[in-house]
Amino acid sequence: MLKLTLSLSALYLAAVGLALMAFPRQFGIGAVPDDAAPELIALFRLLGGPFLGIAALNWLSRGLASAPLQAVLLANFIGFGAVALNDVWGVASGEARDLAKVFLIVHLLFTLAFAALVRADRKRTAASRTEHP
């Protein structure tokens, strides 16, 4: 499950990052007006870069040892959890575009997967400490 979750999240984040950078108007359909200010488009493109960085981090972390892996898993749990909470707020309040319902499901699934991985890794680390005092 670890390699699959990190791989899928890397591919997803890379797709979002590339879409933000290369197709900001199309990615923001329903939220970005046709006559969007160039500054808004530049902001979307700016936000695409960190998505690509996190995608690379997730992809390269698939074979890490436990200590550095814990940091990557926890960071993904926090990031996807924050985005999922934002999606819940937007969908519940009606402020989000209709497509947010799909993103809510994707982000919630990644949040749950990373939560399970954080928990499993912590259990494995604690067990190895008791075996090798």
User: Do 14 and 51 form a contact (C-beta atoms < 8 A)?
Assistant: yes
Each residue's pLDDT tens digit in the chain (133 positions)? 889 999 999 999 999 999 999 998 888 888 888 888 989 889 989 989 999 999 999 999 998 877 788 899 999 999 999 999 999 999 999 988 888 899 999 999 999 999 999 998 888 877 777 766 5
Question: Which residues span the domain enclosing 74?
Answer: 64-133
**Are both 95 and 42 inside the same structural domain?**
no
Total domains present in the chain: 2
Neighbouring C-beta atoms of residue 73, cutoff 10 Å:
27
Provide the whole-model pTM: 0.82
Q: Tell me the CA distances in angstroms from 53 to 11, 18, 37, one per residue in order.
A: 12, 11, 26
pLDDT reported for residue 28: 85
* Terminal C-alpha separation, the chain: 28
What lies within 8 Å, CB to CB, of 92 at 6+ separation is: none
**Are both 82 and 118 inside the same structural domain?**
yes
**Are both 43 and 71 inside the same structural domain?**
no
Number of Cα atoms under 13 Å in the Cβ half of residue 85: 5
